[in-house]
Amino acid sequence: AEVHYHDFIVRAKSVKRLCKTREIITVNGQFPGPTLQVRNGDSLVIRVVNHAKYNVTLHWHGVRQMRNGWADGPAYVTQCPIQQGGIYTYRFTIEDQEGTLWWHAHVSWLRATVYGALIILPRENYPYPKPHREFPVILGEWWNKNPLDVIRQALKTGAAPNVSDAFTINGQPGDLYRCSSKETTTFLVTAGETVLLRFINAAMENELFVAIADHDMTVVGADASYTKPFTTSIILLGPGQTTDVLIQTNQPPGRYYIAAHAYHSAPPSVTFDNTTTTAILDYIHNPKSATSPKLASLPVFNDTAAAAAFTAGIKSPAPVQIPSPVDNHLFVTVGLGLFDCPRNKRCGGPNGTRFAASMNNFSFVLPSRTSLLQASELGGPAATGVFTADFPASPPMHFDYTGNVSRSLWQPIRATKLYPIKFGSVVEMVLQGTNIFAAEEHPMHIHGYEFYVLATGKGNFDARRDSRRFNLVDPPRRNTIGVPQKGWAVIRFTADNPGVWLMHCHIDSHLTWGLATAFLVSNGVGESESTLPPPPDLPTC
């Protein structure tokens, strides 16, 4: 196994998009940031130097970080941010993961431009069918304004953040936007090849449908786990998710669009970015005179059936060992909520309220003096009051979560509540979407873990009826799962990674509003089941 050393200099850079020049935060002046390519079993040593005028942290999305929360990255969860002018070195090893992951900033809304691919190849000499070519395809969003101002404004008024001005593929909006044609991302291929496209949804606020003109996609991986190959004309990725697909370049030489637009599961009255980003799949030797690229056909924005069918198609390639029996049964609501407007203020949310979001009706608040991991590991008396370990295993009351929920039933409470789990126990979690203000799909992500998705469905979860639908044979292993709009998802995992691990909706406004909690997984027996000591350069708050 190899050790890969990188310097990541976080700094501002001016870039032009949609006819306007704006300063963005980047790593090494690159947007998207550098692609990391490693092999299973390799280690990474990434020295982050913060030359931006904001505090920063980086998160290695999907990397399990066994016993090593210190390298995970979410601000105030596993570390204090790297201050302006500060340096912190992330050291971690890839243990039994292969496929596509990614990295991104994990503080405020910096990840809008601070992200890149993390590609994990199989171990050396491990035989696998190599594609002729492969490309990371990173989907993102673009705002003409500084995204940090977009969320600041939203928090100030209590309203929803302004929708993005464009979607991007590898940093470029593409042909269909103003002043963007020349820079449209192009993937050069030749006829008769098998090409691996590693899709990553790095968008802040949107799940995205993707289609390629005249080319079907065979899905072979998701979230750095192999999947049973299945062929489809569209794929769907929630923010945080990755999907590896193979395509055959078996069409007449030409230019074909790879297109993406939003999957908008909220009611049509909720505004969203309804634009389409494109890149071009370009067969080399295509005569210069070529006409415009062939159009790709995407599902309509609210095609819930297409979304559900795609999600249901993802399975493990072979029967898996499902963790059992279950020690911790959780039933957790996920959804939006509304806070009252403080007196003498005018709020911009629905009916003069402010937006909030919650899990089991607790709207998660981050500490500011230390991180949760530092408090739990090193805290001593100073840590008292940083968090409590009493996140409830079920909601405060039961009702029709997906019906017309009255606001008076469901007023979120701000708190920093962690859910304690004993090392080695098996956790099963029903994630129940709610319909407060507006129901929409929530891509739920867990740090430091992968989980099996046993089932997803519509309406209120009913244990007796729905547990019969659990896939206990070949469920997919993922780190992010979309909880369907007005529906539910059931996940299961073994708590074999001690430390503090964030769980949250990967739609960034929802995270900002508190759609999060964290697991506090105890140490097991001996060093090999205990959290590693903190690195000496761990930032302080």
List of residues contacting ligand C2O (CB under 6 A): 59, 61, 74, 104, 106, 240, 445, 447, 502, 504, 506
Residue whose C-alpha is closest to residue 191's, from 251, 232, 139: 251
Q: Tell me how far, at minimum, the Cβ of 492 lies from ligand C2O, in Å.
A: 20
- Which is closer to ligand C2O, CB of 63 or CB of 217? 63
Q: Tell me how far, at minimum, the Cβ of 190 lies from ligand C2O, in Å.
A: 35
How far is Cα 431 from Cα 410, in angstroms, rounded to an integer?
Answer: 17
Instruction: For Cα atoms 295, 482, 388, give the angle at the middle one, nearest 5 degrees.
Output: 145
Q: Tell me how far, at minimum, the Cβ of 102 lies from ligand C2O, in Å.
A: 8
Q: Tell me how far, at minimum, the Cβ of 509 lies from ligand C2O, in Å.
A: 14
DSSP state of 417: B
Q: Tell me how far, at minimum, the Cβ of 453 lies from ligand C2O, in Å.
A: 17
Tokens for 185, please give them: 């991302």
In angstroms, the Cα distances linking 62 to 2, 370, 479 are 20, 24, 6
Q: Which residue is nearest to ligand C2O (CB)?
A: 61
Q: Tell me how far, at minimum, the Cβ of 373 lies from ligand C2O, in Å.
A: 14
- Which is closer to ligand C2O, CB of 243 or CB of 304? 243
- Which is closer to ligand C2O, CB of 347 or CB of 515? 515
How far is Cα 481 from Cα 442, in angstroms, rounded to an integer?
Answer: 8
How far is Cα 349 from Cα 337, in angstroms, rounded to an integer?
Answer: 11
Tokens for 515, please give them: 């759609």
Q: Tell me how far, at minimum, the Cβ of 419 lies from ligand C2O, in Å.
A: 16
Instruction: Please enumerate in sequence order all residues whose Cβ is within 8 A of that of 131, keeping only pairs 6 or more positions apart, or say none.
Output: 193, 194, 195, 196, 246
- Other beta carbons within 10 angstroms of residue 190's beta carbon come to 15
Q: Tell me how far, at minimum, the Cβ of 501 lies from ligand C2O, in Å.
A: 10
How far is Cα 109 from Cα 239, in angstroms, rounded to an integer?
Answer: 14
- Which is closer to ligand C2O, CB of 445 or CB of 477? 445
- Which is closer to ligand C2O, CB of 60 or CB of 256? 60
Residue type, 36: L
Torsion sign over Cα 348, 350, 352, 358? negative
Residue whose C-alpha is closest to residue 457's, from 446, 467, 444, 445: 467
Strand partners, 209: 236, 261
How far is Cα 145 from Cα 321, in angstroms, rounded to an integer?
Answer: 48
Instruction: Please enumerate in sequence order all residues whose Cβ is within 8 A of that of 201, keeping only pairs 6 or more positions apart, or say none.
Output: 139, 207, 208, 237, 238, 239, 240, 241, 242
Q: Tell me how far, at minimum, the Cβ of 31 lies from ligand C2O, in Å.
A: 18
* DSSP structure string for 315-364: --SS------S-SEEEEEEEEEEEEPPPTT----SGGG-EEEEEETTEEE
Q: Please confirm whether the linkage preceding 381 is cis (ω < 30° from 0).
A: no
How far is Cα 259 from Cα 379, in angstroms, rounded to an integer?
Answer: 49
Radius of gyration of the chain (CA): 22
Tokens for 432, please give them: 């129940």
How far is Cα 45 from Cα 71, in angstroms, rounded to an integer?
Answer: 10
Question: Which residue, chain included where needed, has tokens 């891509």?
Answer: 443
How far is Cα 241 from Cα 421, in angstroms, rounded to an integer?
Answer: 25
Q: Tell me how far, at minimum, the Cβ of 203 lies from ligand C2O, in Å.
A: 11
Q: Tell me how far, at minimum, the Cβ of 35 lies from ligand C2O, in Å.
A: 17
Strand partners, 427: 328, 493
Question: Which residue, chain included where needed, has tokens 């395809």?
Answer: 137
Q: Tell me how far, at minimum, the Cβ of 502 lies from ligand C2O, in Å.
A: 5
- Which is closer to ligand C2O, CB of 69 or CB of 293? 69
Question: Which residue, chain included where needed, has tokens 């029903």?
Answer: 430
Q: Tell me how far, at minimum, the Cβ of 206 lies from ligand C2O, in Å.
A: 15
- Which is closer to ligand C2O, CB of 445 or CB of 478? 445
